[in-house]
C-alpha cells in the first residue's frame, strides 16, 4: 500500500503509451541497459529536493515511498525486485541469496543459500546470523506489517504477541552450509514478494532492537546513509565495502554523493530544478507550473503509469451507504473525467471502474456504472443515479465526506460533495491533514460514511488490493488500523479470495483470471467503492541528468542517474 | 464619513450576492462546474481548459464581463466574482459576530474583575493571562484543528464541524483579553472616583452601580474598540481560512478564496488578488472609522497593541 | 520592588504551567488522534499497535503521561516526536529558533526606523498634507493581511517580474548567516519587509498619537515658554517620553513574534522557523512538538510581559500595589 507521505499527485506515461494486459508497454525493454556500467559518467553530487522528510530512516520501520525509493541503493534482502527499466522491474531476483529459494513442503518451506564475502557498510561480513537477527528485529521494532505479512513465518504470531521473547522458531540458519530456511505456518504465495521489499533488508545483528529513527543503520547497498536530519537533509555516500555481485540486484551507482534537501516549498523546488540548482523534485508538481514545465522544459519531464487507485470507499455498515442502491447511485453519478481534469488532465491519469488498476495482474476491462454500459468508461449517468437514490429511500440523508487537505484531494473531495448534493444527499466535506486522515477514516468509531483515499501497490499481486482492502481479515472494528475502509466483509467473497490465493501457487495465470472475476463481482454485486482514476507519476529532473530509469515497484532509480 | 460610505457600499453589494448569482450571472457559486461551458465574445468556451501541452488544466481567466465570470473561475470551475460577494458576507458576518461576542465577554469579565477586585479579579486576570500568553495564532489554530475535525457538543448544543459558528467563537474567545484588560484598567480607575464611591456609600446595589454608573462610563471605549475589533477579527478569520482551519468548503470567505487562489497564483492571480484587495479596503475603512470614533468619543481609548 | 518582581515571575510560571496542561488536554481529548496508530504504520495488526502503545507509554493514565512528557521535555531533554520517530524535539526547536530570530530582528530594525520616522514626520507636520498621508499609509499597512502581502510579493518577484527587475531574488527558503551572509540577507530581505509593514504602520500611528498628546502636556508648555523651537521640543522632550510606550509595545511584540507569531510570514516564504514548526506539528497533531513549541512561544510572551511590567513598576512605584 505504500502511500506517499504527502500524496504525490502526478504520474506518468505519455498518452501514446498503450496499456496492455501486462501493462506498461512503452518501456523500450531496456536495451542493453542495466549490465554495462559506464565509468565515464561516475562521480559528482546528485541533489534531490523534498518539501518534507519521510520520517524514521530505519528500513524495518519506514513505510513511505519517499525512502523506499532511496533504500534500493542502500539495502538488500535475500531477494529483490530486479533493478531494470520497465515491466521487468516486477520480477523478483536473488540478491544476498545465491539463487531464488527452493520451495518445498507444499509451499511451506523456503530454503536460501547466502552469498559469501558480502560486507556491510561498517565493514562486518554478512552472515546467516545477521539474517536471523534481522527477521527477529522486524518483530521487536513492531514493523508495521509484522502482524500481517511476516507472521506467516512459524512462530511469527508468538513474536507479534510478545516481541520481547521473540525467537522466531520458523527461521533456522546453518552457518556451516550458509543456508537460511523459512518454515511458514501457512502457505503464503506472496511471501517471496514480501521478502523483496525493504522491510526484509538484512542489517547487522548488532543493530539495536528499537526504531533507530534518525540514526542511519548500516546496509549492504552501493551507498550508505551518512547523515540524516529530517529538518534539513539526508546524505548518501558510496559504501566503501561495496563490490557488485549481481548488477540486476544491486548495480554500481553513478553519483559519488546523493543529497536530499528538505524544507523548501514545492514552488521553489521547481524553480531550483529549472535553474539547474538541484536535480529532482520529489513532491507532486504544482498544477499552475505544469504548463510552464511541459512547454519550456518538456525534455526534463518523465511520465509513468502507476499501479495505484484513487478511490472513494463507502462504509457498507452505516447509513446511507449500507444500502447497495445508494452505493451504485454514487458510482453512476461521479464524472470520472472531471476527476481526471482536477488531477491535471488526461495525460496524467485515466478513469477506472475496477479495483485492480490497469496494467496490474488480474485487471479486466469492465465498467459496470457508466452511461450506456460497456467495458470502458463513457461518463456518468445522472438519471440512473437519481432514480437509484430515490429507490433506495436514502434521499435527503446527511453525508460527510472525509478527505485530506492538500490541493488535489481537497479539489476532488469538493467536486464529489457537489455531485452528492445533486443526487439528493445533504453532503459536506471534512478536510484533514494527510497524516491524520488515513487512520481516521479507518476507525469505525469515527463513523465515517464516505471518504477519499489512495492505494499504491506494495508488490504486484492482486491480493495486495482485493484481499487487503476488501477482505474480512483486514477489517478491525474500533481500530485505527483497519485498512478495509469500506468495512466490507462477505463470507462468499472471502472464500473466493482464499481459493484464488491457493490457486496462485499452482497456476498464477488461472489465479489472475479468478482475481479479475472477483473484482468484477465485487463491483457489480456489492460496489463498496467508487474507483476513480489510476494516476500517473511525473518526474521533473534537471537538464544535466542522464540515464533516467524507472522501476514500477520503487520508481526512479536515484543512484543510476548521471550528473556527469 | 468616506470610510463609512465605503463600508456601507461593501456590505450592500455583499448582501446582494444571491441576487447577483441567481438573477444576473446565473451561476451557483457553491457547486462545482468542471465540465461547464460559457458563452463569451460570441464563442462557447470551457470553464476549465487543458493547457496546450495537455499537462495540467487551467480555469478560465477574468472575462471582465460583469454578467459572466467577471473575475474568471477557480479550480472547481466556480465563478470567482460571485464567490467574492458570498465570501464577503461570511467574512463580514464572522468579523462582526465575533467582535460582538468578544466585546460582550470582555465587558463582563473586565467589569467584574475591575469592580469587585479580590478573588474574582484574581481568577479573571489569571484566565486572561493564560489566553494572552498563548501566542494568538497558535491558540486559534490549535482550537480550529481540533474543532474543525470533530465539531463539538456541550450539553444540548451541537456544533457541526463545518459550521461558521466555530471560527466565530474561536476568534471571539482569543481576543477577549485584548479588550478585557484595558476595560478592567478603566473600571479600576473609575472605582476610585468620588461619584462611584458616593454611590457605593449610599448603599446602591453592585448591579445598579455597574449598570448605571460604570457601564455608561466605559461605553465610549467599547464603541471605539468595536470597529477596530471587527477589522482585527476579519484579518484573523482570513488568516485562519488561508491556513485551511477557518471557514470550511464549500462555504466561502475572503480568506478561503485567497487559499483557493494560491494554487493558481502564477497563472490566474486574480483569484487570490481580488479577495485580498477587498480585505484591505474593508479593514482600512473599519480602522478609519475606529479613528473617527476615537476622536469623537474617547481620545484616550487604547486597545492592546495601542492600535 | 523585589517582592513585586518575585510575584510577577511566580505568576508567569503558573501561567506557563496552566498552558502546558491546557495544550495537553486539548490534544488528548481529540477524537481520531491515536499517535500509536501513526507510529505503528499503515497496516499494523492490533497486537503491533498494542506494543507501540505500551512502548511509548500511551496506555498510561493521562496525568502520568503528562508528567512523563514534562520529564522528557525539561529534565531528560530527550522528548521525541510522534511523527518523525526518534527525532528529538528540543534540538528541533533550537534549530528553528535562529531562523525566526533572524527574521524578526531584521524586520524589527526596519519597522522601528520606519515607524518612528513616520510617527515623528506626521506629528511634526500636523495640519499639513503630509500628516494625513502618513497616517493613511499607516492604516493601509495595518489593514493588509501579512500572508497576502507576502503572496503578492512572491507573485511579483518570483513570477511577473522575475525575468527582469527581480532576477536576483532567490526562490525562497533560508541560508544560514554563517554559510553566506550575503545570501542570508538576500533570502530574508522580502520576508523582513513584509513582516515589518504591519508593525511600521502600528508604530507610526502609536507614536504620532503619543507625540500629539505629549505636545499638550505641562512640561512641553514650560519648554515652549522658555522659547525653545517646536522641532527641538518635539525631539528632545516629547519624543523622549513617548518612546517609553513604544519601548514597552516593542517588548511585547518582539516577544510574541520570537515565540511564533511570525508564523504566516514564515509559511508564505518557506522559512522553517518556530512558527512553521508549530504549524506543521499542529497539522500532524504531533503532540510533543506542539507542546515544546507552544511552551517555547508562551515563554517569550510571558517573559516579555513580565519584563515590561517589572520595568514599569521600576519607573512608576504606584503600579507595584496594583
A431: nearest CA in chain B?
B149
Mean of the per-residue pLDDT values of chain B: 85
Q: What is the interface size between B and C, counted as CB pairs within 8 Å?
A: 144
Quick one: which of A240, A218, A225, A248 has its CA closest to A126? A218
Instruction: Specify whether the CB–CB gap between B51 and B37 falls below 8 A.
Output: no
Domain boundaries, chain B: 2-81, 87-306
Instruction: Specify whether the CB–CB gap between A562 and A254 falls below 8 A.
Output: yes
Average pLDDT over residues B96-106: 94
Interface partners of chain A (CB pairs < 8 Å, 3 or more) are B, C
Select, from the ranges A275-284, A378-387, B16-25, B230-239, the one with the highest average predicted confidence (pLDDT).
A378-387
State residue C8's pLDDT score. 82
Task: Give ∠ CA A6-A539-A78 in degrees, rounded to 5.
Answer: 80
CB atoms within 10 A of CB C302: 27
Residue A455, pLDDT above cutoff 50: yes
From chain A, the residues in CB contact with C150 under 8 A are: none
**Cα A427 to Cα A447: distance, rounded to the nearest angstrom:** 15
Tracing cell 457498507 back to the chain, one arrives at A316
Q: Do A143 and C41 touch (CB under 8 A)?
A: yes
Choose the mutation target among A439, A448, A463, A464 for the interface with C, i.e. most C CBs under 10 Å. Answer: A439
> Is residue C265 assigned to a domain?
yes
Is pLDDT larger for residue A320 or for residue C209?
A320
* ipTM for the assembly: 0.86
State residue A27's pLDDT score. 43
Select the residue of B31, B50, B75 nearest A418 (Cβ to Cβ): B31
State residue A15's pLDDT score. 28
State residue B273's pLDDT score. 92
Q: Do C172 and A433 touch (CB under 8 A)?
A: no
Quick one: which of C5, B55, C258 has its CA closest to A296? B55
Q: Tell me the pLDDT band of A8, cut-offs 50, 70 and 90.
A: very low
Q: Is A123 left (phi over 0), alpha (psi -120 to 50) or beta?
A: left
**Cα B13 to Cα B20: distance, rounded to the nearest angstrom:** 9
**Cα C135 to Cα C143: distance, rounded to the nearest angstrom:** 12
Average pLDDT over residues A254-275: 88
**Cα B158 to Cα B148: distance, rounded to the nearest angstrom:** 13
- C-alpha dihedral sign at B239, B242, B247, B253: positive
Grid cell, residue A79, equals 531477494
Instruction: Specify whether the CB–CB gap between B278 and B88 falls below 8 A.
Output: yes
State residue A30's pLDDT score. 43
Cis omega before residue B250 (within 30°)? yes
State residue B95's pLDDT score. 94
Q: Tell me the pLDDT band of A26, cut-offs 50, 70 and 90.
A: very low
Element of type H or E holding A453: strand A453-456
Is pLDDT larger for residue C179 or for residue C115?
C115
pLDDT in tens, C273-288: 888 888 888 877 788 8
Mean of the per-residue pLDDT values of chain A: 88
Choose the mutation target among A406, A418, A439 for the interface with B, i.e. most B CBs under 10 Å. Answer: A418
Instruction: Specify whether the CB–CB gap between A180 and A112 falls below 8 A.
Output: yes
From chain B, the residues in CB contact with C30 under 8 A are: 146, 149-150
Instruction: Tell me how far CA of residue B198 lies from CA of A557, B187, B194, B214, in angstroms.
Output: 86, 15, 6, 13
Is pLDDT larger for residue A311 or for residue C234?
A311
Grid cell, residue C184, equals 542570508
Percent of all residues in chain C with a pLDDT value above 70, rounded to a whole number: 91
Percent of all residues in chain A with a pLDDT value above 90, rounded to a whole number: 64
Select the residue of C37, C83, C92 nearest A55 (Cβ to Cβ): C83
Mean of the per-residue pLDDT values of chain C: 83
Q: Do C302 and B262 touch (CB under 8 A)?
A: no
Is pLDDT larger for residue A163 or for residue A136?
A136
> Is residue C189 assigned to a domain?
yes
Residue C239, pLDDT above cutoff 70: yes
Query: Of chain A residues 244-303, which have a CB less than 8 A from chain C?
Result: 263-265, 267-268, 271-272, 275
Select the residue of C40, C48, C172 nearest A264 (Cβ to Cβ): C172
**Cα C234 to Cα C120: distance, rounded to the nearest angstrom:** 8
- C-alpha dihedral sign at B212, B216, B222, B226: positive
pLDDT in tens, C176-207: 888 888 889 888 999 999 999 989 998 998 88
Choose the mutation target among B129, B135, B188, B307 for the interface with C, i.e. most C CBs under 10 Å. Answer: B135
pLDDT in tens, C20-67: 888 888 777 665 566 777 666 655 667 777 777 777 777 788 888 888
Q: Do B249 and A407 touch (CB under 8 A)?
A: no
**Cα C230 to Cα B213: distance, rounded to the nearest angstrom:** 41
Q: Do B55 and A294 touch (CB under 8 A)?
A: yes
3-state secondary structure B173-242: HHCHHHHHHHHHHHHHHHHHCHHHHHHHHCCCCHHHHHHHHHHHHHHHHHHHHHHHHHHHHHHHHHHHHH
Q: Do C86 and A56 touch (CB under 8 A)?
A: yes
> Is residue C52 assigned to a domain?
no
Residue A3, pLDDT above cutoff 80: no
Interface partners of chain B (CB pairs < 8 Å, 3 or more) are A, C
Grid cell, residue A397, equals 440523508
Instruction: Tell me how far CA of residue A457 lies from CA of A1, A344, A357, A465, C262, in angstroms.
Output: 5, 22, 9, 7, 41
Which range, of B96-105, B191-200, C21-30, averages the lowest pLDDT?
A: C21-30
Select the residue of C26, C145, C158 nearest B238 (Cβ to Cβ): C145
Helix ranges (DSSP H) in C237-286 = 239-256, 263-269, 274-284
Selecting from 3.40.50.2000, 3.40.190.10, 1.10.3720.10, 3.30.360.10, what CATH number does the domain B87-306 have? 1.10.3720.10
Q: Tell me the pLDDT band of B149, cut-offs 50, 70 and 90.
A: low
State residue C241's pLDDT score. 77
Which range, of A6-10, A88-92, A393-397, A476-480, averages the lowest pLDDT?
A: A6-10
Residue B123, pLDDT above cutoff 60: yes
Instruction: Tell me how far CA of residue A16 lies from CA of A11, A363, B275, in angstroms.
Output: 14, 20, 42
SS3 for C217? coil
Q: Tell me the pLDDT band of B56, cut-offs 50, 70 and 90.
A: confident
Residue A16, pLDDT above cutoff 50: no
Q: What is the DSSP letter of A34?
A: G
State residue A312's pLDDT score. 97
Instruction: Give the contacts of B182 (CB within 8 A, at least 6 positions apart).
Output: B110, B221, B225, B301, B302, B303, B304
Task: Give ∠ CA A297-A300-A306 in degrees, rounded to 5.
Answer: 120
Give the helix, strand, coil percentages of chain B, each rounded to 5: 65, 10, 25
Select the residue of C37, C43, C283 nearest A433 (Cβ to Cβ): C283
Residue C85, pLDDT above cutoff 70: no
Is pLDDT larger for residue C41 or for residue A354?
A354
State residue A19's pLDDT score. 31
Q: What is the DSSP letter of A105?
A: G
pLDDT in tens, B202-225: 888 888 888 888 888 888 888 888
Number of domains in chain C: 1
- Residue-number span of the structural domain to which C129 is assigned: 91-274
* CATH number of the domain that residue C263 is part of: 1.10.3720.10
> Is residue C259 assigned to a domain?
yes
The Cα of C12 is separated from the nearest Cα of chain A by a number of Å equal to: 31
Q: Tell me the pLDDT band of B303, cut-offs 50, 70 and 90.
A: low
Amino acid at each position: 500500500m505504500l502511500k506517499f507521505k504527502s500524496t504525490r499527485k502526478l504520474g506518468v506515461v505519455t498518452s501514446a503509451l498503450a496499456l496492455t494486459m501486462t501493462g506498461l508497454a512503452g518501456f523500450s525493454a531496456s536495451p542493453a541497459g542495466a549490465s554495462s556500467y559506464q565509468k565515464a559518467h561516475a562521480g559528482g553530487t546528485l541533489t534531490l529536493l523534498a518539501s518534507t522528510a519521510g520520517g524514521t530512516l530505519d528500513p524495518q520501520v519506514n513505510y513511505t515511498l519517499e525512502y523506499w525509493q532511496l533504500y534500493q541503493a542502500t539495502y538488500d534482502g535475500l531477494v529483490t525486485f530486479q533493478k531494470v527499466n520497465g515491466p521487468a522491474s516486477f520480477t523478483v531476483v536473488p540478491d544476498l541469496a545465491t539463487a531464488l529459494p527452493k520451495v518445498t513442503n507444499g509451499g511451506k518451506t523456503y530454503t536460501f543459500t547466502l552469498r559469501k564475502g558480502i560486507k556491510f557498510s561498517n565493514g562486518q561480513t554478512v552472515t546467516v546470523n545477521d539474517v536471523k537477527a534481522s527477521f527477529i528485529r522486524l518483530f521487536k521494532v513492531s514493523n508495521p506489517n509484522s502482524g500481517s505479512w511476516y507472521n506467516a513465518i512459524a512462530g511469527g504470531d508468538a513474536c507479534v504477541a510478545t516481541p520481547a521473547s521473540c525467537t522466531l522458531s520458523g527461521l533456522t540458519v546453518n552457518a556451516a552450509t550458509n543456508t537460511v530456511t523459512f518454515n511458514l505456518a501457512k502457505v503464503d504465495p506472496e511471501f517471496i514478494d514480501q521478502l523483496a521489499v525493504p522491510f526484509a533488508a538484512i542489517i547487522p545483528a548488532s543493530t539495536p532492537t528499537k526504531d533507530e529513527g534518525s540514526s542511519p543503520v548500516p546496509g549492504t547497498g552501493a551507498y550508505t546513509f551518512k547523515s540524516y536530519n529530517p529538518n534539513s537533509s539526508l546524505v548518501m555516500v558510496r559504501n566503501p565495502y561495496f563490490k557488485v555481485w549481481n548488477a540486476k540486484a544491486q548495480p554500481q551507482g553513478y553519483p559519488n554523493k546523493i543529497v536530499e534537501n528538505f524544507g523548501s516549498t514545492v514552488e521553489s523546488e521547481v524553480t531550483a530544478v529549472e535553474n539547474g540548482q538541484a536535480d529532482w523534485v520529489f513532491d507532486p508538481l504544482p498544477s499552475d507550473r505544469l504548463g510552464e514545465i511541459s512547454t519550456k522544459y518538456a525534455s526534463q519531464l518523465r511520465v509513468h503509469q502507476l499501479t495505484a487507485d484513487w478511490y472513494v470507499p463507502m462504509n457498507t455498515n452505516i447509513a446511507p451507504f449500507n444500502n447497495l442502491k445508494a452505493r451504485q447511485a454514487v458510482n453512476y453519478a461521479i464524472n470520472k473525467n472531471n476527476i481526471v481534469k482536477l488531477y491535471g488532465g488526461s495525460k496524467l491519469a485515466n478513469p477506472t471502474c475496477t479495483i485492480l488498476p490497469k496494467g496490474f495482474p488480474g485487471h479486466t476491462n469492465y465498467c459496470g456504472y457508466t452511461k450506456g454500459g460497456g467495458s470502458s468508461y463513457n461518463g456518468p449517468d445522472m438519471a440512473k443515479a437519481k432514480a437509484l437514490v430515490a429507490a433506495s429511500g436514502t434521499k435527503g440523508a446527511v453525508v460527510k465526506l472525509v478527505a485530506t487537505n492538500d490541493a488535489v484531494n481537497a479539489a476532488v473531495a469538493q467536486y464529489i460533495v457537489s455531485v452528492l448534493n445533486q443526487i439528493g444527499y445533504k453532503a459536506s466535506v471534512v478536510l484533514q491533514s494527510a497524516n491524520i486522515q488515513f487512520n481516521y477514516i479507518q476507525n469505525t468509531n469515527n463513523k465515517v460514511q464516505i471518504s477519499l483515499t489512495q492505494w499504491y501497490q506494495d508488490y504486484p499481486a492482486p491480493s495486495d488490493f482485493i484481499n487487503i482492502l476488501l477482505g474480512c481479515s483486514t477489517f478491525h472494528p474500533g481500530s485505527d488500523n483497519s485498512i478495509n475502509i469500506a468495512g466490507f466483509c462477505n463470507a462468499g467473497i472471502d472464500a473466493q479470495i482464499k481459493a484464488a490465493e491457493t490457486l496462485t501457487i499452482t497456476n498464477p495465470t488461472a489465479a489472475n483470471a479468478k482475481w479479475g472475476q472477483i473484482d468484477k463481482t465485487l463491483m457489480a454485486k456489492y460496489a463498496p467503492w467508487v474507483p476513480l482514476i489510476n494516476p500517473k507519476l511525473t518526474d521533473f529532473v534537471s537538464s544535466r541528468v542522464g540515464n533516467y530509469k524507472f522501476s514500477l515497484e520503487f520508481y526512479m532509480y536515484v543512484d543510476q542517474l548521471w550528473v556527469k | 464619513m468616506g470610510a463609512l460610505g465605503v463600508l456601507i457600499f461593501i456590505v450592500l453589494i455583499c448582501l446582494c450576492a444571491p441576487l447577483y448569482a441567481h438573477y444576473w450571472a446565473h451561476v451557483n457559486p457553491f457547486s462545482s462546474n468542471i465540465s461547464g461551458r460559457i458563452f463569451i465574445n460570441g464563442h462557447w468556451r470551457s470553464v476549465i481548459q487543458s493547457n496546450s501541452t495537455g499537462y495540467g488544466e487551467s480555469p478560465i481567466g477574468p472575462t471582465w464581463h460583469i454578467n459572466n465570470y467577471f473575475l474568471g473561475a477557480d479550480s472547481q470551475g466556480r465563478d470567482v466574482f460571485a464567490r467574492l460577494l458570498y465570501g464577503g458576507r461570511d467574512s463580514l458576518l464572522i468579523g462582526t459576530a465575533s467582535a460582538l461576542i468578544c466585546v460582550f465577554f470582555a465587558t463582563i469579565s473586565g467589569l467584574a474583575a475591575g469592580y469587585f477586585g479580590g478573588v474574582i479579579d484574581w481568577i479573571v486576570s489569571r484566565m486572561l493571562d493564560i489566553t494572552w500568553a498563548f501566542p494568538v495564532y497558535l491558540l486559534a489554530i490549535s482550537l480550529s484543528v481540533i474543532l474543525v475535525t470533530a465539531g463539538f457538543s456541550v450539553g444540548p448544543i451541537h456544533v457541526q464541524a463545518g459550521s461558521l459558528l466555530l471560527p466565530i467563537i474561536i476568534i471571539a474567545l482569543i481576543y477577549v483579553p485584548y479588550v478585557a484588560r484595558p476595560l478592567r484598567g478603566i473600571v479600576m480607575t473609575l472605582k476610585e472616583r468620588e461619584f462611584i464611591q458616593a454611590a457605593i456609600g449610599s448603599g446602591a446595589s453592585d448591579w445598579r452601580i455597574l449598570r448605571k454608573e460604570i457601564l455608561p462610563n466605559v461605553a465610549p471605549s467599547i464603541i471605539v474598540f468595536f470597529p477596530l475589533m471587527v477589522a482585527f477579527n476579519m484579518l484573523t478569520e482570513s488568516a485562519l481560512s488561508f491556513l485551511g482551519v477557518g471557514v470550511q468548503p464549500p462555504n466561502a470567505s475572503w480568506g478561503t478564496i485567497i487559499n483557493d487562489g494560491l494554487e493558481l497564483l502564477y497563472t490566474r492571480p486574480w483569484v487570490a488578488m481580488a479577495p485580498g484587495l477587498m480585505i484591505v479596503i474593508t479593514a482600512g475603512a473599519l480602522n478609519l472609522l475606529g479613528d473617527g470614533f476615537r476622536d469623537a468619543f474617547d481620545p484616550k481609548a487604547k486597545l492592546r497593541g495601542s492600535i | 520592588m523585589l517582592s513585586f518582581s518575585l510575584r510577577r515571575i511566580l505568576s508567569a510560571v503558573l501561567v506557563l504551567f496552566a498552558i502546558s496542561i491546557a495544550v495537553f488536554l486539548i490534544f488528548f481529548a481529540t477524537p481520531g488522534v491515536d499517535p500509536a496508530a501513526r507510529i505503528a504504520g499503515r497496516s499494523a495488526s492490533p497486537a503491533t499497535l498494542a506494543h507501540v502503545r505500551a512502548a511509548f507509554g500511551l496506555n498510561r493514565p493521562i496525568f502520568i503521561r503528562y508528567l512523563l512528557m514534562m520529564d522528557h521535555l525539561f529534565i531528560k531533554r530527550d522528548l521525541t516526536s510522534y511523527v518523525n520517530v526518534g527525532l528529538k524535539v528540543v534540538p528541533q526547536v533550537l534549530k528553528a529558533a535562529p531562523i525566526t530570530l533572524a527574521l524578526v530582528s531584521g524586520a524589527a530594525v526596519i519597522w522601528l526606523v520606519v515607524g518612528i520616522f513616520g510617527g515623528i514626520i506626521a506629528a511634526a507636520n500636523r495640519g499639513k498634507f503630509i500628516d494625513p498621508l502618513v497616517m493613511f499609509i499607516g492604516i493601509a499597512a495595518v489593514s493588509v493581511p501579512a500572508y497576502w502581502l507576502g503572496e503578492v510579493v512572491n507573485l511579483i518577484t518570483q513570477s511577473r517580474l522575475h525575468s527582469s527587475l527581480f532576477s536576483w531574488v532567490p526562490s525562497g527558503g533560508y541560508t544560514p548567516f554563517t554559510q553566506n551572509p550575503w545570501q542570508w540577507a538576500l533570502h530574508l530581505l522580502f520576508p523582513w519587509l513584509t513582516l515589518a509593514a504591519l508593525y511600521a504602520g502600528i508604530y507610526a500611528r502609536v507614536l504620532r498619537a503619543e507625540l500629539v498628546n505629549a505636545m499638550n502636556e505641562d512640561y512641553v508648555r514650560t519648554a515652549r515658554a522658555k522659547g525653545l523651537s517646536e522641532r527641538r521640543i518635539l525631539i528632545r522632550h516629547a519624543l523622549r517620553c513617548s518612546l517609553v510606550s513604544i519601548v514597552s509595545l516593542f517588548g511585547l511584540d518582539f516577544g510574541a513574534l520570537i515565540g511564533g507569531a511570525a508564523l504566516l510570514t514564515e509559511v508564505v516564504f518557506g522559512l522553517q522557523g518556530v512558527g512553521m514548526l508549530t504549524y506543521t506539528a499542529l497539522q500532524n497533531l504531533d503532540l510533543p512538538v506542539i507542546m515544546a513549541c507552544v511552551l517555547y512561544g508562551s515563554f517569550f510572551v510571558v517573559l516579555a510581559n513580565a519584563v515590561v511590567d517589572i520595568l514599569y513598576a521600576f519607573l512608576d512605584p504606584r503600579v507595584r500595589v496594583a
